Structure 1
Amino acid sequence: MFDPVIAPSGTLLGLLQRGRGDGTLHALTAPRPEALAALNHCVLRDPRHDWQVENRSLYYARLYLDLHGDLAAIEAHLFDPEDVLDTEESRTGLALAVLGHLASYGRRDALDLLRRYAAHGTNWAWALDELALRDDDAGLRALAAPVLARFTTDAEGEAELAATVRDAFEPRPWRLWADDPRAAVAARVRAAQEAGSFDRWQRQMRPGGPRPGWSVRAVFAWAQEGVERGAALHVPAARCLAAVAGPEDRPEIVRAAQDGTEEPGAPPCAISPTAAIPPPST
Structure 2
Amino acid sequence: MNKKIIIINALAMFFCSCNLDQEKNEKLEKELISYKKQYALLKDQYKNIVKQNDSINNIVTQKFIDREYLDFFVNNTYKYSLNKRNLVTFVFNKIGLNKNDVLGELWNNGLFSFYNFENNAEITSKSDFFTYLWFKIDRSPEFITSFLSNEDKKYIYTLFENNSFYKDSGLEAMVKGLLISYEQVENNPELLQKIYKLAKDEKEYVGDTVDFIEGELDIFDVSSVLDDINYSTYPNESKRINRIGYVYKFWARRYEEDNKEAVYNLLKELHSNLSKENIKAEDSDISLLPERNG
Higher share of residues assigned helix? 2
Shared fold, TM over 0.5? no
Q: Which has the larger radius of gyration?
A: 2
TM-score of the two chains, using structure 2 as the length reference? 0.25
TM-score of the two chains, using structure 1 as the length reference? 0.25
